[in-house]
Amino acid sequence: LLGFENEKPVSINRKGEYVEAGEEIAGLARQISNLVGDFLFDGELIGLEYFVFDILKAQGTDLRAVNFK
């Protein structure tokens, strides 16, 4: 997971543990936060590209319980 919360980039591994985000990933999280504020995305980093599968939180709103229509 990749996110930005409390003015800091966050990265969460498959075990649910917060891990240090590399500077490139942290920079990506900062750029995304400029567009959507606090966020949490589920995705995968492949090379220098991050592919988003699920948007779990955006603009500070938890979207996990929202149904897709």
Q: Model pTM?
A: 0.81
DSSP state string for 29-69: HHHHHHHHSSEEEEEEEETTEEEEEEEEEETTEE-TTPPP-
Better pLDDT: 69 or 38: 38
Q: What digits encode the pLDDT tens for the residues 10-27?
A: 999 889 999 988 888 899
Q: Are 39 and 58 in contact (CB under 8 A)?
A: yes
Condensed to tens digits (0 to 9), the pLDDT of residues 12-65 reads 988 999 998 888 889 989 999 999 999 999 998 888 788 999 999 998 888 988
Q: Which residues contact 12 (CB under 8 A, 6 or more apart)?
A: 1, 3, 18, 19
Angle at 1 between CA 67 and CA 69, to 5 degrees: 15
